[in-house]
Structures are given as C-alpha cells and as structure tokens.
Amino acid sequence: MDDQARIMQSIGGVSLAGHSVQGGMALPPPHGHDGTDGDGRKQDIGDILHQIMTITDQSLDEAQAKKHGLNCHRMKPALFSVLCEIKEKTGLSIRGAQEEDPPDPQLMRLDNMLLAEGVAGPEKGGGSAAAAAAAAASGGAADNSIEHSDYRAKLTQIRQIYHTELEKYEQACNEFTTHVMNLLREQSRTRPISPKEIERMVGIIHRKFSSIQMQLKQSTCEAVMILRSRFLDARRKRRNFSKQATEILNEYFYSHLSNPYPSEEAKEELAKKCSITVSQVSNWFGNKRIRYKKNIGKFQEEANLYAAKTAVNAAHAAAAAVQNSQANSPTTPNSGSSGSFNLPNSGDMFLSMQSLNGDSYQGAQVGANVQSQVDTLRHVISQTAGYNDALGGNTMYSPHGLNANGGWQDATTPSSVISPTEGPGSVHSDTSN
DNA sequence: TTCAATGATTAATT
DNA sequence: AATTAATCATTGAA
C-alpha cells in the first residue's frame, strides 16, 4: 500500500515535470528542491527505473498513463540515447562481423545466367521481332524458326512466372519491411531502438527474402536448362539442309576443291544464299572436307556431278582466262564464272599452274577463280578421259589439292587422272556408329 | 527396324 | 580463332 501511494505520487511528479517541459521551460522537478541538481537527477532515474520495473503490475490504464508519463519525462531522451548506445555496442559486438557481406557468387551466377537466357533483364520483344524478321527474310529457315517459336513460347512462360513470382516476393518484402519499420519506430518511442538497429533489421529481412529469391532463381535456371536441352540442342532437332542449300554448298566445294576454305565473306555469302548461318556453313565445310578426304571414292560420283554441272561455265571462263593470260593481260579480272562463288578477293594467291595433267600451263599467273575453274575442269577431263586405274579398294590417289599427308595444299598436285567409275563401297570409316 | 547420311558438338591441334 | 578428327544424335530411305 505504501509503495502504491509513492508510485502514484511519483507519477504525479513526473507528469507535472513533463508538462512543464512541454510548456517550454525545463524547470527543476519538485523533488529537486532539497539538494543539488545531481541528487535530483538521481532521484529521477531511480523513479523511472522503479516505474519500469513495476509497470507490468499495473492495469492497462495505469500502464498507459505511466507510459505517457515516461514519454514526457525530461530525462527520457537522454536516457534513451544512452541505452541506444549501449545496445548498439553490445549488438554490434554480437553480430558486427557479418555487416556487409559480399554479393553471393552463386546468386551472381544465377543472375548472369538468367540475364543471358533472356529470362531476367528487359523484355526481349526485339528478340522475337528479330527472329521473325530473320524467318521472313529467309524462307528456308522457316521450319527452323517454327521450332524455335515453340522454345520461345516456353521461355516466355518461364519468364512470366519468374517475373510475377519475383514481383510477389519483392512486394512482400517491401510490405514486411515497412511493417517492421513502422513497428520498430512505434516501439522506439518506448524502447531504446536506434536507427541503426532498424537498418540492421531491414538488412536481415532483405537477406531472408533474397535467399527465398535465390531459390526461385535456381529453379528458374533449372527450368531453362531443361527447356534448352530439350529444344535447343541442335543434335536432337537436327534438320537436313534444303536440297537447294546443299546444292549451293556442294557447288562451291567442288569448284574450290583445291582449297575448299571459304573466306569469311564467302561464308557469309553462302550462308545468305542457303538461308543458314555462317557457323552452319563452317560446320558443313568442316564435315565435307573431312568426309571427302576420308573417302574420296565415295564422293567421286558427286564430284563429277557437280563438276559437270559447272563445267560449261567453267570451261567458258577458263578459256577466257587462258586467252586473257595469253594475251598477256597481267591481271585477270573476274571472269564471271557463272556468278556463283565469285571470290571477290579471297586472299588466294596467284597460283602457278604448271602441272595440269602434266601439261605446263603457260598462263603462269591467273587468279584464284581460274584455279577453281581448273578444278572443275579436271573433273571433266577425268570424266572424259576414262582413266580407269583399277581403284578397287582404297588406293589413295591425291586428287586436286589434297596432299599425301591429308592436307589441302593449294599447290597443284601432279594429279594423275581420276577414276570416274569407282563405285561407293570402299572404306567406310566414318560410319563408326 | 536397320543403317547410311548428315548436321552439330567436342577435344585436340595449329 | 580456325580447323581436324572423332563422336553424337537425328533423319530418312530401304
């Protein structure tokens, strides 16, 4: 009972003091009259602590009243700041180390991948538009793009899910953060909470949410990878090139048999003509070279076919070239070999064509295009010559620029003529499956 | 179903 | 970076 009375009295005192403070003047408290200022403050603090200790015993109304009283006490700000400081120090010592952790490398990887796959980042409307344009530009690639449109549709689906989920998370995170911040700010009126602490709390919340986000990103990445492996693995969805494209490629190949390495520009040209990509052209030539070299006999028929195809033009052009060189015009301009694969300046050196079937070619220096025409001519010659030298099995002759070591020397070879009637069925070395 | 043909990928090489 | 050689995975004809 006695305690209670004293408390009530103190409350009255505190309230009074508070009011006086609010009034604008920091008057000494009622108890402060008896001695020094220090004594009064001590008394104040004692009172406050006492009140805090006993506040749980009070009824709600009383507690509210007391709270108000405490809030208005003139010592409150100072005490709070001191308490904040103490908390700050202890809190920091507890978990001060993991303040600014570096960005998670795994998260970064995921982010990069999502960005690369076009899941994260800006809406790739341009991408689909470009693809559509490419499809429109190239009729042959239509089926290809249809294939990809399926992939794109699925990717867009993933993308949408990812973005809505991400947005949801973000929104939830923000909501939660503001909620917590409000709560803490509210509490900071009655509890010593420093801004730094709030900040830290926000950081913790963000970390938690970002770990959830990481899971989302991880599963999205997985989904994309699966989609990718199913749709974009070209080995699975291999399409044969159109007959036309193969034709063009073969024409080039056999008319440049001495050096079937199209320059970058030539590749681009071929790619455009065949409605395929440059790397596809490179693949094709890579495969062709190796397979041709491995089993020339098998390709003989094909070679002759394409040789015959271009024979007329080539013969024409070659004749013109020879005439030109005989007329000692030093540079042979494009002798317009049928318009196709006219290497503009393919870096081919001037070739001294001495030994075309042993004949010494007096035209000494002609351009690469002529060389290719000569290649073609060789086929024609070989075809008409009918030089059946009994290539029953794998007698490796070195036709054209293919030297004994298996390299394509652009120098001319002393090619004795080729057997045209050599059926397939020599060594089948590529059929390793 | 089988199997050669073929486009793509990969590791090694230059 | 381009190419070779080996290999993979699919296509399409038989």
Instruction: Say whether the CB atom of A238 is under 7 angstroms from strand C.
Output: yes
C-alpha to C-alpha distance for A241 and A244, rounded to whole angstroms:
8
Position A283 scores a pLDDT of 96
Comparing C-alpha atoms, which of A185, A181, A161 is closest to residue A173? A181
Identify the residue with better confidence: A238 or A433. Answer: A238
C-alpha to C-alpha distance for A71 and A178, rounded to whole angstroms:
24
Structure tokens at A348: 């081919």
pLDDT above 70: percentage of residues in chain A: 48
Instruction: Say whether the CB atom of A264 is under 7 angstroms from strand C.
Output: yes
C-alpha to C-alpha distance for A324 and A335, rounded to whole angstroms:
10
Scanning the structure block, which residue is given the tokens 């005490």?
A79
Scanning the structure block, which residue is given the tokens 């899941």?
A119
Structure tokens at A234: 């070209």
Give the Cβ contact number of residue A151 at 10 Å. 15
Q: Which residues touch strand B (CB under 7 A)?
A: A 233-235, 238-241, 246, 276, 279-280, 283-284, 286-287, 291, 298, 424, 428, 430-431, 433
Give start and end residues of each alpha helix (H) in A256-405.
Answer: 264-274, 278-294, 296-326, 368-385
SS3 A33: helix
Is residue A320 within 8 Å of A335, Cβ to Cβ?
A: yes
Nucleotides of B under 7 A from a protein CB: 3-10
pLDDT at A246 over 60: yes
Nucleotide whose C1' lies closest to the alpha carbon of residue A302: B5
Identify the residue with better confidence: A78 or A354. Answer: A78
What residues have CB less than 8 Å from A180, skipping those under 6 apart? A201, A202, A205
Scanning the structure block, which residue is given the tokens 């001037």?
A350
**Residue A197 CA neighbour count, 13 Å, CB half:** 22
Q: Residues A70-93: what's their mean pLDDT? A: 73
Position A32 scores a pLDDT of 40
Per-range mean pLDDT, top range of A250-259, A332-341, A362-371, A380-389 = A250-259
pLDDT at A204 over 60: yes
Give me the phi and psi of A366, to 5 degrees please. Answer: -130, 165
Is residue A108 within 8 Å of A210, Cβ to Cβ?
A: no
pLDDT tens digits for A174-199?
Answer: 999 999 888 888 887 777 787 788 88
A241 by Cβ neighbours in 10 Å (0-12 / 13-18 / 19+) ranks as middle
**Protein CA A85 to sugar C1' B14 (Å):** 69
C-alpha to C-alpha distance for A363 and A429, rounded to whole angstroms:
40
Per-range mean pLDDT, top range of A310-319, A374-383, A421-430 = A310-319
Of chain A, the end-to-end C-alpha distance in Å amounts to 101
pLDDT at A284 over 90: yes
pLDDT at A432 over 70: no
Write the DSSP string, A212-260: HHHHHHHHHHHHHHHHHHHHT-TTTT--PPPHHHHHHHHHHHHHTTTS-
Q: Residues A318-336: what's their mean pLDDT? A: 49
Comparing C-alpha atoms, which of A287, A291, A283, A303 is closest to residue A429? A291
Instruction: Say whether the CB atom of A236 is under 7 angstroms from strand C.
Output: yes
Per-range mean pLDDT, top range of A247-256, A332-341, A351-360 = A247-256
Is residue A14 within 8 Å of A73, Cβ to Cβ?
A: yes
pLDDT above 90: percentage of residues in chain A: 16
Q: Residues A283-305: what's their mean pLDDT? A: 92
Domains in chain A: boundaries: 60-90, 103-124+144-234, 241-322
Position A312 scores a pLDDT of 60
Is CATH 1.20.1250.20 what the domain over A241-322 is classified as, yes or no?
no
pLDDT tens digits for A132-173?
Answer: 433 333 333 344 455 556 666 777 888 888 899 989 999 999
Q: Which amino acid is at A348?
A: D
Query: What letter does residue A402 receive in the DSSP assignment?
Result: B
Task: Give A274's pLDDT tier (boundaries 50, 70, 90).
Answer: very high
pLDDT at A335 over 70: no
pLDDT tens digits for A38-62?
Answer: 566 677 777 777 876 776 676 788 7
Instruction: Say whether the CB atom of A265 is under 7 angstroms from strand C.
Output: no
Instruction: Say whether the CB atom of A347 is under 7 angstroms from strand C.
Output: no
Give the Cβ contact number of residue A99 at 10 Å. 9
Mean pLDDT across chain A: 65
Cα-to-chain-centroid distance, residue A321: 50
pLDDT at A214 over 50: yes
Comparing C-alpha atoms, which of A43, A6, A38, A218 is closest to residue A114? A218
pLDDT at A128 over 90: no
Task: Give A71's pLDDT tier (boundaries 50, 70, 90).
Answer: confident
Task: Give A317's pLDDT tier (boundaries 50, 70, 90).
Answer: low
Lowest mean pLDDT among A6-10, A171-175, A232-236, A289-293: A6-10
